[in-house]
Amino acid sequence: QSVLTQPPSVSAAPGQKVTISCSGGSSNIGGNYVSWYQQLPGTAPKLLIYDNNKRPSGIPARFSGSRSGTSATLAIIGLQPGDEADYYCGTWDSGLTSLWVFGGGTRLTVL
């Protein structure tokens, strides 16, 4: 029921690349910057990507973001066991009473 649609789960082997998609509409992703958050098990979320493709200080370059039209993508290369977490996209939405919207979250499993 989330405004932004993410796959419930993705998986890949260590060292491989994985992508997580986030699909929305013109009132959210299509007109606003997208952020990505990583939530490791039992911890608070952490900002991973902001303004579609920028990384806060301390976030490895293995993590990258992109946006095209009304969709956004998070890519992780060189997967590590420590990347196993839930990942959420988020952005402002100008078309709803809920002004910030999150995707439903994607569970990444490192095989």
Please give the residues from 48 up to 87 whose contact with other proteins meets the rule CB under 8 A.
Answer: 50-51, 54, 56-57, 86
Distance separating alpha carbons of residues 68 and 73, to the nearest angstrom: 8
Which of 22, 101, 108, 110 is in the footprint of other proteins by CB under 8 A? 101
Among residues 17 and 54, whose Cβ is nearest to other proteins? 54
Q: Which residues 6+ apart lie within 8 Å of 89 measured at CB?
A: 4, 6, 20, 22, 34, 35, 36, 37, 72, 74, 102, 103
Distance separating alpha carbons of residues 106 and 95, to the nearest angstrom: 24
Which of 45, 53, 62, 70 is in the footprint of other proteins by CB under 8 A? 45
| Interface ranges with other proteins (CB under 8 A) | 2, 35, 37, 39, 44-47, 50-51, 54, 56-57, 86, 88, 90, 96-105
